[in-house]
Structure 1
Amino acid sequence: MNQLFVRAGNFMSSFVKEEDGAQVIEYALIIAVVSIALVIALQGLTTGGYFTTFITRVAACLQGNMAVCNP
């Protein structure tokens, strides 16, 4: 019974000291912040202008409207 408590104590102390899980959480937070920044930064591209025109032309070309495909 004493060995069980010793093993449990060793497991808990190694679990507390292990930092691999913390690194995964840090990477996830970095990815989340970068993703939010990209969404905010690229939001201006979708509100009109050249990018929207380009995407509309690509969609028309993919649907077979060849008159729009040739500039």
Structure 2
Amino acid sequence: MKKLMTMTRQFRDDENGAAMVEYSILIGIIAAASIVTIIAIGVWVNGSFTNLCSKLTGVAGVTNCTTVAAVTP
């Protein structure tokens, strides 16, 4: 009976499993935040290039934005 009580106390006082779960949740939150940030930056960059392309089309007479590098001033 004494050995059972000792094992029960050790199990109750062991916090390794709880710490592992907490770290796993923290890593998941950091990963999700990183993915959302990367997607947001990608959308912003895409919008910036689309805006630049539309401005070049109106001003410089560029018909295709993939050939902007070939246009000479």
Q: Structure 2-normalised TM-score?
A: 0.52
Structure (1 or 2) with the larger CA radius of gyration = 2
Deviation at 1:7, TM superposition (A): 1.1
Ranges in structure 2 where 5+ consecutive residues have no aligned partner: 47-73
Deviation at 1:47, TM superposition (A): 7.7
Give the equivalent residue in structure 2 for 1:37.
33
RMSD across aligned positions (CA): 2.3
Paired-residue identity, %: 18
Ranges in structure 1 where 5+ consecutive residues have no aligned partner: 50-71
Q: Structure 1-normalised TM-score?
A: 0.53
Deviation at 1:13, TM superposition (A): 0.6
Aligned pairs, number: 46
Deviation at 1:46, TM superposition (A): 5.9
Task: Give structure 1 regions of 4+ aligned residues with deviation exceeding 2 angstroms.
Answer: 46-49
